[in-house]
Structure 1
Amino acid sequence: MATQTSLLKFTGKLGNVIGYRVGKKYYLRSMPEEVRQSSRSKVSSRHFGQASRLGATVRHALHGLLHVKQDNKLINRLNGSLLGVLRQDDLHRQKRFIPRYFRGLERFCFTTHADLAKVLPVDVSAVRNADGNIEVTVPAILKHLANPRATHVGIRAVAVGLERGFTKAEAAASEMVMLKADEPSAAFTLTVPADRNTVTCVILEVTCWQVEHGRRYLMGNQKFMAAQIIAVLQPEAAVVVREEHAPYSPQRQPRMELPVMPGLVIHHPQRE
């Protein structure tokens, strides 16, 4: 492993050299002459590729919707969580994403400096209403866990719908509720438009703001902001997952014989 010290640094393949970045530093390594993979490593690579593609789809759907700053490790953390969802499939030889196992994403936090419990002192709930949209209920808050310099706390809900096949995702956000940081707040409900026939990940985002002369400014202290998946709601329409049957075995099954009973006569239909 060598460190790049030139003014022009790069990442990716250049001839037989690969450049990559770790944090704020750039490194170099040579390409292997031959790559040997066992059958297990090939399967693991395929699973990781499935998780990475879905992770990229989710991140692209969320682009521009979250105010919290995404850290450099988010990609690996999200891919790892999705890989765990994929590996729970025990119905298919080649593993697939199963809707009910996406509940494993609950409590996944998009920020590493703080989770939701450190910035929000109440427990929230998320349900689908009669129209299929998402309703997030936030109970009354007696004291906010906000930045001491903040004048307001912003709370907003974001819903990410994973379409069937898990190759596409769409995201939408509710209106942000601005609460005064130094005053108690009453309970309220956030509504997010959503497709009732998709697996929907509900994210709650809490941020701190300064409001001056009618304009609001986002505060950058990440210890007082968080975005976390609070619920994963299943689609209303049933998703049929076919179970793959075991391959045909040439071994014949034992024939079931009827018990012999005295006086019992069985008539077989005659072929004309």
Structure 2
Amino acid sequence: MGIITSVITFKGKVGNMIAYERNGKTCLRTVPETVRQTANTRRSAKWFGAASRKGAFIRSALAPDLDILCDGHAVNRLNSTIVTAGRNNHAALKGFRFNGHTGIEKFFPELPVFSQDGKLHIPAQKLQGFGDAVRMEVKLIATRIDFTTRSVTGMDADVLHIDLEQPFTGADLSVSVPGKGTLLVTLQVRTFLKDGVSYDRRLNAAEIIAVEEVVTPEVVAPKSRPNKRQPHASLATKPTINGQDPVPRE
């Protein structure tokens, strides 16, 4: 891997050279002439591709309701979370931060509690100062996703504004998105200055705080009982003695 120290006029692939950015530095590498893949590497590549598509779908499903900018590594972090979790382990998405620089705990030392009835309780507490911020916006977002059909089946949101110049006595938010699929609950916090929203990435957060699956109850088939009825008389076998009918015929 070479690191470019002068001006470079392209990014991406040109011929057998690829220019890309890594950790703020522009790098250059060549394309390998041949790529050998084993069955395991092909299987891993296929799973990584599926995880990347799922990550892109999750981002697009939540994007219309998120008001903060994700950090530059959010895509890779989300894909890595899905790959590590394994197939259909959506519960592992809990705790994912769309802005990796800040978490919800920065704003609420006593963390909000989300219950299965769709209510979020934020305990009364002393909120720390956030520079010149005068107001804080808290947004609870619930998005229900059917990963089988790759569709968003419902969405709901509730918004709370907190005056940072006044004591915070606690608050409750609620959302309701019935239906089938996986429910992703995201809590977003933005701070506002006197003249508008703050774009300081340390003062804005969005984190998945709950993941709920709708489990379809398993239908148990009743056990079949053995047939204890006697065979019909016409089908019953007549007894014989030495192969002869014991009742002499007229």
1:158 maps to which of 141, 154, 171: 141
- Aligned counterpart, 2:185: 202
- Residue pair 2:125, 2:170 contacting (<8 A) in 1 also: no
- Aligned counterpart, 1:109: 97
Q: CA RMSD in A?
A: 2.7
> What's the secondary structure of 2:65's corresponding residue?
coil
Q: Distance in 1 between matches of 2:193 and 2:127?
A: 15
Shift in Å, 1:157: 1.2
- Aligned counterpart, 1:232: 211
Shift in Å, 1:104: 1.7
- Residue pair 1:124, 1:136 contacting (<8 A) in 2 also: no
Is 1:219 the equivalent of 2:198?
yes
- Residue pair 2:134, 2:163 contacting (<8 A) in 1 also: yes
Aligned length: 220
Kindly provide the CA deviation profile for residues 176-226 of structure 1, in whole angstroms up to 9, marking residues without a partner as x: 2110112223433323453421201111111211245xxxx1112222322
Q: Distance in 2 between matches of 1:46 and 1:107?
A: 26
Q: Distance in 1 between matches of 2:25 and 2:63?
A: 26
- Residue pair 1:121, 1:141 contacting (<8 A) in 2 also: no
Bigger Rg over Cα: 2
Q: Distance in 1 between matches of 2:34 and 2:153?
A: 40
Kindly provide the CA deviation profile for residues 96-122 of structure 1, in whole angstroms up to 9, marking residues without a partner as x: 42xxx3212212222222221121122
* TM-score normalised to structure 1 length: 0.70
Q: Distance in 2 between matches of 1:10 and 1:171?
A: 39
Identity %: 25
- Aligned counterpart, 2:172: 189
Shift in Å, 1:156: 0.4
- Residue pair 2:124, 2:171 contacting (<8 A) in 1 also: no
Kindly provide the CA deviation profile for residues 116-141 of structure 1, in whole angstroms up to 9, marking residues without a partner as x: 11211223233454xxxxx3323333
> What's the secondary structure of 2:141's corresponding residue?
strand
- Aligned counterpart, 2:230: none
- Aligned counterpart, 2:11: 10
> What's the secondary structure of 2:110's corresponding residue?
coil
Q: Which amino acid aligns with 2:11?
A: F
- Residue pair 2:137, 2:159 contacting (<8 A) in 1 also: yes
* Counterparts in 2 of 1:195 and 1:68: CA distance versus 1, 3 Å: same
Q: Which runs of 5+ in 1 are unaligned?
A: 87-95, 130-134, 241-268
Q: Which amino acid aligns with 1:46?
A: K
Q: Greater shift after overlay, 29-38 or 203-212?
A: 203-212
Q: Which runs of 5+ in 2 are unaligned?
A: 220-235, 238-250
> What's the secondary structure of 1:108's corresponding residue?
coil
* Counterparts in 2 of 1:141 and 1:182: CA distance versus 1, 3 Å: farther
- Aligned counterpart, 1:256: none
Kindly provide the CA deviation profile for residues 14-70 of structure 1, in whole angstroms up to 9, marking residues without a partner as x: 322223222443322211111011111111111111111100111122224323331
